[in-house]
Structure 1
């Protein structure tokens, strides 16, 4: 791109911005030469725009000499010198750029296309790992800074919260411009010719505005693989992209199967909303759910399988020797085998007025996005399992007080020992055993909760501004109709727990482990009856199920 900015738009005498916890490493000469083997060297000119906010599939640049400035909305936020490389995670995932990169002092760069960069990341363990780690950190920096999308709307609007949650679940940098409290909101609305009554509005990279878009429309604008699933007959359809589903996608595609992957909201499932997973093998310092998800999505992409989001399964049937899954956009996928990995959704508290506050101050995930919304106010968390404990520890480092409300008498019953120790020793966490929330207080915003001691029946008010709920989950199986056998709680029966019927007599075998009452239909992860609610076990089931799919296909995929 040869576009130039005027000298008034560039800072005079730019100084390089220091590294930020490894997000902006400096390459040495040998590493630059190695990267240059995959691309081209070329000179740069002062004022040249290397890529602009909103650009898709822009190139990757390593600065050999000279200085490049990074701008957000016209303001310089970072300055890079020789040895630094540009870009962030969206470059690897085909998303639009959230920033603009401009040459402040002329010099030389090494330039790679997005395809050449992906090839480098896939095949060079050292350089690829360095770029990937930096890009993951840079995405976290953007998210923490509230860069990226601007979602203009009232904090009391359910659609505003829906859009905020969609952006958060898909790890898209964003910030809320609150029409009730933010002075910039009116000017932004005037700029786009939008009235308050037409909000929420999403300002996407490049300056376009979407008026109250649906999740699918926003996903398409952000390059989140929101195309309709392919109509060709697939070897394997994976519905649900939590850790188990993503593992099935990666192992299936690596084995040469024709795989289609679909999720109704975002890759990652409930694990993707977890601030830190500390007991997953191979990560002694722990790993955040979003980081684990991003790595898995990139790995699936490495084998040529994008995860289609905002496509919710609504029907399931058997037809002409294969299975057909229908989606809410009227598309269908025909497949020889199916993995059900739709997981479970968190249960809601049975509380008066809960719906009033769910659009503003009640949350079912605890990530940096939700922590930012709490704005340094005290919070309450309901639940006694690992999800509640992880949320308590994460939020306690960001808010002044966390009240953990647990119905049971012992944290050790449902929470891992290491997590119990961290919760009990944290000075800003108060644990209320044998308590439950019985009332929500406030008018338009949550001002507090009433908790009741289940032994003495005493009540007291906790002055909190947000309520986080982690009280178990309900399986996402309504779309399976009556063709798939479920247990009494609605989870999918598999293996020895299914009863064979007429569909099995011609197969000459019993159901495989993880296989349902329909040959070639498998269930993994939280949606499966009797599953172990751990990330590691879900990933293991995702790997195991691919071998069972091969076994099924070798018998012939007749339904």
Structure 2
């Protein structure tokens, strides 16, 4: 037997990513699928394929291959009997980032997704097993395959924009840094692309020169073709915890539900490395995993996600709401849930724009952590987001300085975060301190100018990266005069929104059929749990509104 004919070693189970199914579980799946023989070399799933079945290997082995059919083809995984194939993209409707081929003759069980959804509703333990495995596989896939290539300079705002989109949406991708990667120049030469024309995105046979977010989203399978004039029961604008809760409850109760977000699912919570005080997760859960679980849950009930896509205006036609989207498409709907949340405010310091996207960030995830290895970094802010970022960055940076303008961390930060910060040897808390200047050149931050708010004494502190978490600004610019806002731009709800209707529900805006939930709502409690609660409550109010038009089931639907 030559080397090419030797059997491949089956991939070992890693962190529960590759469990084996029991006889009972396979029997349950068999009742909703069909067994079929496969021949050596048969392609079961092709790279880029979106519509596919849930596959279980009954006999033989299946290889997971990146770049199948190309000179750079590489085996990533090998699955043997009782293993199921694929990863999170199967449940979220994304195309496969790899190919799966039979390494030897055998048999597979193919279960259509509707049948799988029915089964996991009846057998939640099996559903939890599959979901945990798929979530773990997505994390492994991000680190194990090249995925989408983004070629560009770390100092280019457009490179940063594309990398942020890929990272926030948990897309397997590789960044090729023009300044640091020795192979970047040769790659561009082969593609006949000049450095000044970067960034470029490469996947399979496609090369996109400085694509828009929408173009990147389409080739990655995040964003389907827009459906103009679709009629919905509810459009949820914003896919943070509040919007995701509204999607889950709305879709599960039979409402035609469409969810939009300008960046990614998860909102601000999606950028948190670990949420430790959310009910039911004593060991904590990352914001990204919480969002992924909610998306799978909502899609299971039929919610349609279109991310990233931006709502630019809210209009109306007769008794219907009309959500105008970037690119000119429109969605007609009986009701709208505004869940656009808030973004962190920018520091009021000179030269900020020069360093944003290269040295100044408003989220602390693994993408930003790349720039912090063995560096001195600073975090500005005294709330939980700043505390979570400090703890996460301390694992990567040589030193982290947490800068607050007052002298008491207990004022705005949870005690469990303070306890952890106080135990970290490479973290220093600078109290009564304000950032006044950014010092550096060519987009590279070198130091911060800071001032003691009590004494007025100024000094410079070394810092290669700065993270700002200094309060929020509501994302309500797209609403214009559509609904009433408070003096800070948050959406007014309840009696404050409609003085003429004191019985108005606490989530109802000044416009009938439009509700606001989560951080975007004036007076809301800025916690994940309260946002989820408001999102679920909104669906009850939606039913009340829809009752005036007949039940959702009786009205004609176009489907999504």
The answer to whether TM tops 0.5 is: yes
Match of 2:386 in 1: 388
Is the CA contact (8 Å cut-off) linking 1:500 and 1:510 kept in structure 2? Answer: no
Do residues 45 (structure 1) and 39 (structure 2) align? yes
Q: Write out aligned runs for 1:64-463 (5 A).
A: 64-73=58-67, 74-145=73-144, 147-204=146-203, 206-444=204-442, 445-463=444-462
Do residues 546 (structure 1) and 539 (structure 2) align? yes
Distance verdict in 2 for CA 1:174–1:11, change over 3 Å: farther
Is the CA contact (8 Å cut-off) linking 2:437 and 2:449 kept in structure 1? Answer: yes
Match of 1:57 in 2: 51
Is the CA contact (8 Å cut-off) linking 1:495 and 1:511 kept in structure 2? Answer: yes
**Aligned equivalents of 1:62, 1:480: Cα separation in 2:** 48
Do residues 30 (structure 1) and 29 (structure 2) align? no
SS at match of 1:172: coil
Distance verdict in 2 for CA 1:418–1:490, change over 3 Å: same
Do residues 531 (structure 1) and 531 (structure 2) align? no
**Aligned equivalents of 1:232, 1:101: Cα separation in 2:** 36
Is the CA contact (8 Å cut-off) linking 1:98 and 1:147 kept in structure 2? Answer: no
SS at match of 2:445: coil
Deviation string 1:201-250 (CA, Å, 9 cap, x unpaired) is 1112x342222111111112122134325514332222111111111122
SS at match of 1:446: strand
Using the TM superposition, give the Cα deviation of residue 414 of structure 1 relative to its aligned residue in structure 2, in angstroms.
0.7
SS at match of 2:282: coil
SS at match of 2:441: coil
Match of 1:489 in 2: 488
**Aligned equivalents of 1:203, 1:119: Cα separation in 2:** 37
Distance verdict in 2 for CA 1:72–1:438, change over 3 Å: farther
**Aligned equivalents of 2:205, 2:48: Cα separation in 1:** 8
**Aligned equivalents of 2:532, 2:347: Cα separation in 1:** 29
Match of 1:505 in 2: none
Match of 2:70 in 1: none
Is the CA contact (8 Å cut-off) linking 1:339 and 1:524 kept in structure 2? Answer: yes
Using the TM superposition, give the Cα deviation of residue 276 of structure 1 relative to its aligned residue in structure 2, in angstroms.
1.1
Gap runs ≥5 in structure 2: 68-72, 551-560
Deviation string 1:417-452 (CA, Å, 9 cap, x unpaired) is 111111212223221111222222322322333333
**Aligned equivalents of 2:448, 2:4: Cα separation in 1:** 51
Match of 1:504 in 2: none
**Aligned equivalents of 1:345, 1:11: Cα separation in 2:** 56
SS at match of 1:102: strand
Using the size of structure 2 for normalisation, the TM-score is 0.91
Match of 1:465 in 2: 464
SS at match of 2:547: helix
Larger deviation, residues 249-258 vs 154-163: 249-258
SS at match of 1:234: strand
Is the CA contact (8 Å cut-off) linking 2:66 and 2:145 kept in structure 1? Answer: no
Using the TM superposition, give the Cα deviation of residue 88 of structure 1 relative to its aligned residue in structure 2, in angstroms.
0.8
Gap runs ≥5 in structure 1: 1-6, 502-507
**Aligned equivalents of 2:302, 2:313: Cα separation in 1:** 26
Deviation string 1:65-93 (CA, Å, 9 cap, x unpaired) is 33333233422233333332221111112
Deviation string 1:478-523 (CA, Å, 9 cap, x unpaired) is 122223111111111111222435xxxxxx7732111112222211
Distance verdict in 2 for CA 1:278–1:10, change over 3 Å: farther
Match of 1:3 in 2: none
SS at match of 1:23: coil
Deviation string 1:88-118 (CA, Å, 9 cap, x unpaired) is 1111122122223333344333233445444
**Aligned equivalents of 1:152, 1:308: Cα separation in 2:** 26
Using the TM superposition, give the Cα deviation of residue 342 of structure 1 relative to its aligned residue in structure 2, in angstroms.
1.0
SS at match of 2:61: strand
Distance verdict in 2 for CA 1:26–1:400, change over 3 Å: farther
Using the TM superposition, give the Cα deviation of residue 189 of structure 1 relative to its aligned residue in structure 2, in angstroms.
2.5
Distance verdict in 2 for CA 1:372–1:103, change over 3 Å: farther
SS at match of 1:58: coil
Using the TM superposition, give the Cα deviation of residue 150 of structure 1 relative to its aligned residue in structure 2, in angstroms.
0.9
Deviation string 1:263-297 (CA, Å, 9 cap, x unpaired) is 12212111111111111111111111111111111
